[in-house]
Structure 1
Amino acid sequence: MSGRAPLILISAGGTGGHLFPAEALAHVLRRLGLRVVLVTDERVGALAEKFPAERVVSVPSATPSRRSLRGTIDAVGQLWRGVVASRALIKRLGPAVVVGFGGYPTVPPLVAAWTLGVPRAIHEQNGVVGRANRFLARRVSMIATGFPDVRGLPRGVRAQIVHTGNPVRQTVIEAARTLYPPAHKGAKLRVLVFGGSQGAKVMSDVVPEAVAKLPPEYLARLVITQQAREEDLPRVVSTYRALDAHAEVRPFFADLPQRIADAHLVIARSGASTVAELAAIGRPSILVPLPGALDQDQAANARTLADIGAALMLPQTDFTPERLAAELVARFDNPERLTQAALAAKGAGRTDAAERLAAAILGLAGIDPARYAPKASA
């Protein structure tokens, strides 16, 4: 390398929804020869074990409660301690840019960078801006977005918005190379069901009962792969076994992107990462947004695919065994509908979002990556 490579400080909350796109960006930055440090909180646990950073630093953070004044006061105190710790870290490391991916653990490093005049950016993965990013929006130099339109951003920040898309993991990019396996009338229909990193109880409640309501000729052609929580696993397996259904049920799938690629239809929640991966890989879906969310971000995410015919969005109140069974029968009878939805999803996919985000961040800092990229060996 020519000179010491600049450092990019990435901050992300301790959930996969924030860490996965941050990880995708980090891989690109490292490939360009830049240095990366991850700042997060203690919740990150095993999720950060493979994060491509030279260091993972934990700083104090907390989520203010809207129900308890005492809880809010305690959280603000914890966040302030995080700002103090982050200021010391930034002074010591001298990052060229500080990038946040949402969640309250990103608030201390971004506020610290703001007070020190360090270039800073946030990335919003959802169709509705989260509370932490909404707070930070007026204090950053750039707001990168996963969707073309993001609701809830404060007025006066439009000039800072750059639509990059949602970075996806390398395993998703590899799975995206798998062509959609067209479903044919009278043939098998492969359905994948999952509800996020820990599964969702509603999927275990509804999907097996919907399968039980299928006419025998459709049940015989169904191949179902389902993620279920450990506590739900016995009853889900028992239901499918009693039906003699062709089913594989596990609490976790390490190869989930490839399983998405192998499916004719996906039934899932609509977190930002799930929606980005469905679009990148190009698979039709039935999406059930998480109800009761403060910002209704999952509904906004699902709508981006539903509006282009790539997905059916079902509110959880409508996600009943009877309705799902009817939707499955409709797709058995009209498999061309699935192929059209797959094409629509693929058209909205973006597998270069991490590269686009990296370019925007380096541009913000005035960094020419060609100066630092590793030279090819002779």
Structure 2
Amino acid sequence: MTDRPFLLAAGGTGGHLFPAAALAQELARRGHAVELATDTRAEKYGVEFPARAIHRIPSATIASRSPIGMAKTFSRLGMGYLGALRLLKRVGPKAVIGFGGYPTLPPIFAARTLRIPTAVHEQNAVMGRANRLLSRYVDRVALSFSPTKYLGPKAQPKAIVTGTPVRDAVLAVRDVPYVPPEPASRFLLLVFGGSQGAHFFAELLPQALDLLPSAFRWRLTLVQQAREEDLVGLRHYYEEAGLAAHLASFFRDLPERIAQAHLVIARSGASTVAELMAIGRPAILVPLPHALDNDQLENATRLEQGGGGWCIRQSELSPERLAAELERLFGSPGLLASAAAKSKAMAETEAVTKLADLAEALAGSKETKE
């Protein structure tokens, strides 16, 4: 097979798919074919994924410890494994690289069965459950942070820190300079999050803005991602309050909007933090509460420790607290500019190059043995 591809495997969320897309773009620039294995959740992202083929592999998350729940989960994973075996025999990939989430389990284990080189990439400061399991068996482990929590002893010798690769759309605005707001000028606030984050911000933000002095409210231009069911209520509130606001359930040009923002309020998923650092924008990060292993809290804490933003737990973020933070930051352009610079200094600018080099090295090791 002369045009054997790299097969990337990723769970069907932006946090897993975006870094996979960044690697796919870089591999394509180097002349390689790329295919993607994911699940049905990827529909909203998969249309634009830079792969010559997208394969849906049956998978399941271990959500219930009951005997019936576990049996259903392992049955579906078994179906996924058999489907992945058939796929890999047909496609004949050079290497299989996973980006986390349970949909990566079947392709990686199938690749091991067929002796195809494997690697996983961990985007968070905490190893995810699927990657934690797979890291024992794959050939290489790529990390975004050093240290990374729960990196097991068997995985440590084969681990390398590459950083989290970001998409071309992010790199395209990386050189847009941060211009701090001037006194009495407009202040652009960008607010976004996953479905839970979007709903929490939709409830919190209007209450917080009501508490801002009018001198700050009239300066504000708000760009906010919200769930479909929250959009009508938010539009009504902002119109009644006389606030300039642009609302949508999903922003396909989010990197450009990050680059335009004076301040970002967001969850702290790995891709979000990586894109904020790559573009260099200050942020108030509100980690998703009750997340397994507190991975978002770890990500936000790393950014805060580097001076690139402020981590506030959801349980501690009242409307009064948010209003006070916004007023403080609105009136401190120097502080915002400093945080923007420190955020950008934390970015791993060669992440996608390092990860593509790792992928080519994996494929080369297989070809050398053959």
Contact 1:98 1:119 in 2 (8 A): yes
Listed as ranges, the matches of 1:10-159 within 5 Å are: 10-159=8-157
Q: Cα 1:199–1:254, aligned 2, differ >3 Å: closer, same or farther?
A: farther
Count of matched residue pairs = 366
Kept in 2, the 8 Å contact 1:172–1:277? The answer is yes
Residue 294 of structure 1: how far off its partner (Å)? 1.5
* 1:200 paired residue number: 198
Q: Match for residue 339 of structure 1?
A: 337
Partner of 1:371: none
The Cα shift of 1:263 comes to 0.5
Alpha-carbon distance in 2 for matches of 1:46, 1:219: 35
User: What 5-or-longer segments of structure 1 have no aligned partner?
Assistant: 369-378
Amino acid at match of 1:263: A
Distance 1:246 1:61 in 2: 43
Q: In the alignment, which residue of structure 1 is the partner of 2:208?
A: 210
Instruction: Normalising by structure 1, report the TM-score.
Output: 0.93
Rounded to whole Å, the distance in 1 between the matches of 2:220 and 2:58 is 48
CA distance in 1, matches of 2:200, 2:303: 21
Higher deviation after alignment, 246-255 or 341-350: 246-255
CA offsets, 1:131-173, max 9 Å, x none? 1111101010111112222111222211111111111111111
Distance 1:217 1:46, change over 3 A: closer
- Counterpart residue number, 2:303: 305
**2:289 maps to amino acid:** P
Deviation at 1:247, TM superposition (A): 1.8
Pairing partner for 1:254 from 252, 255, 258: 252
Q: Match for 2:316 among 296, 318, 325? A: 318
Q: TM-score, normalised by structure 2?
A: 0.95
Q: Is the 8 A contact 1:141 1:160 kept in 2?
A: yes
Q: Distance in 2 between matches of 1:120 and 1:146?
A: 18
Matched to 2:266, the amino acid is A
Shift in Å at residue 229 of structure 1? 1.1
The residue identity in structure 2 corresponding to 1:286 is I
Deviation of 1:49 after TM superposition, in Å, equals: 1.4
Is the CA contact 2:197–2:266 (under 8 Å) kept in the aligned structure 1? no
Q: Is the 8 A contact 1:13 1:104 kept in 2?
A: yes
Once the two structures are TM-superposed, the CA of residue 330 in structure 1 deviates from its matched residue by 0.7
The letter for the 2-side match of 1:239 is Y
Assess, with a 3 A threshold, how the Cα gap between structure 1 residues 192 and 95 changes in structure 2: closer, same or farther. Answer: same
Deviations 1:312-352 (Å, cap 9, x if unpaired)? 10000111110011001111222110000000001012343
- How far did 1:59 drift? 1.9
Q: Which amino acid aligns with 1:66?
A: S
Displacement of 1:88: 2.3
Amino acid aligned to 1:365: A
**What amino acid is aligned across from residue 187 of structure 1 in structure 2?**
S
**Quick one: which of 158, 165, 168 aligns to 1:167?**
165
Which of 285, 288, 298 lines up with 2:286 in the alignment?
A: 288
Aligned twin of 1:375: none
Distance 1:234 1:36 in 2: 41
Indicate the SS of the match to 1:186. coil
Long gaps (5+) in structure 2 = none
Asked if the contact 1:16–1:197 (Cα under 8 Å) also holds between the matched residues in 2, the reply is no
Secondary structure of 2:303's partner?
Answer: helix
Post-superposition offset of 1:124: 0.7
CA distance in 1, matches of 2:107, 2:289: 31
Letter in 2 for 1:33: G
The Cα shift of 1:197 comes to: 6.7
Per-residue displacement from partner, 1:232-272 (whole Å, max 9, x unpaired)? 11222222222211222222222111110001100001111
**Cα distance between partner residues in 1 of 2:116 and 2:299:** 31
Task: From 223, 230, 236, give the equivalent of 1:225.
Answer: 223
One-letter code aligned to 1:68: S
Q: Contact 2:191–2:224 at 8 Å: present in 1 too?
A: yes
Work out which of the residue numbers 357, 360, 365 in structure 2 matches 1:359: 357
Please state if 1:279 is matched with 2:277: yes
